[in-house]
Chain A
Amino acid sequence: AQSVTQLGSHVSVSEGALVLLRCNYSSSVPPYLFWYVQYPNQGLQLLLKYTSAATLVKGINGFEAEFKKSETSFHLTKPSAHMSDAAEYFCAVTKSGGSYIPTFGRGTSLIVHP
């Protein structure tokens, strides 16, 4: 079975600081990995995804994530936080040849201070 762990239910940064949201997965076969963002009182929006091409994936709004097989990680980063980045972020995993229903992490709330 696959699983996703997001370390830290809340992450707080200052505006302009580096954003790092952690995601570790477990999967018996090569995974597909996703990051979604949820702004207050809205649905989730796909931010970026890893599908076994480049290990460094660039997404919308300046976010990127790097797939590291040796660390079973897919951490989300952004060099400089903006107030508008305040949201809930979810990591999710599916696996090639397996169920297409993703397993979601519990989410990390990003708080951005002025």
Chain B
Amino acid sequence: DVKVTQSSRYLVKRTGEKVFLECVQDMDHENMFWYRQDPGLGLRLIYFSYDVKMKEKGDIPEGYSVSREKKERFSLILESASTNQTSMYLCASMPGGSGMANYGYTFGSGTRLTVV
């Protein structure tokens, strides 16, 4: 069974800490994505990557950075965590190729981050 694995289901961090959220996929997908999900706001794209070492800003990149050193791993970094970054974080992946628009995502189980 193909999988997108997020390293932590629940995480509690202090304001100002540097936080790493890890995501690993075993499907050899070119594209990987980080979203945050908040009640009433739906899913908002933070960053995505279409290849190793490549990254693109999504709709809300401020306060975040990403790293993709290997094809299977995409990390989200909160440089200095703040309380307004308390949220559910979802990682997703998708194959590359000419038919990308009709593939759909495979999501991880999510990381619920609380910043205190």
Residues of A within 8 A of B (CB): 9, 32, 34, 36, 41-46, 49, 51-52, 90, 94-102, 104-107
Residues of chain B at interface, number, CB under 8 A: 28
Q: How far is the CB of B30 from chain A (nearest CB, A)?
A: 11
Instruction: Render B1-40 as a binary contact track against A, CB cut-off 8 A, 1 for contact.
Output: 0001010010000000000000000000001010000001
Q: Do the beta carbons of B110 and A98 come within 8 Å of each other? A: no
- Asked if B85 is an interface residue, CB under 8 A from chain A, the answer is no
Q: Do the beta carbons of A102 and B42 come within 8 Å of each other? A: no
> Which one of B61-69, B70-78, B101-109 is at the interface?
B101-109
Q: Collect the chain B residues with CB atoms within 8 Å of residue A46's CB.
A: 104-106
Residues of B within 8 A of A (CB): 4, 6, 9, 31, 33, 40-43, 45, 48, 58, 90-92, 94, 100-110, 112
In the bound complex, how far is the Cα of B112 from the Cα of A72, in angstroms?
35
The contact sample of 29 A-B pairs, CB cut-off 8 A, is: A32-B101, A32-B102, A36-B107, A41-B9, A41-B112, A42-B110, A43-B90, A43-B107, A43-B109, A44-B90, A44-B105, A46-B106, A51-B102, A90-B42, A94-B102, A95-B101, A96-B102, A98-B101, A99-B101, A100-B31, A100-B94, A100-B100, A100-B101, A100-B103, A101-B45, A102-B105, A104-B42, A104-B43, A107-B42
Q: Do the beta carbons of B40 and A106 come within 8 Å of each other? A: yes
Q: Which of B40, B91, B104, B112 has the most chain A CB atoms closer than 10 A to its own CB?
A: B104
Q: Collect the chain B residues with CB atoms within 8 Å of residue A32's CB.
A: 101-102
- For B42, give its contact among A42, A52, A105 (CB under 8 Å): A105
Q: Collect the chain B residues with CB atoms within 8 Å of residue A51's CB.
A: 102
Q: Collect the chain A residues with CB atoms within 8 Å of residue B104's CB.
A: 34, 46, 49
In the bound complex, how far is the Cα of B31 from the Cα of A102, in angstroms?
13
In the bound complex, how far is the Cα of B42 from the Cα of A90, in angstroms?
9
For the complex of A and B, the 3 pairs showing the least CB-CB separation, nearest first, are A43-B107, A100-B100, A51-B102
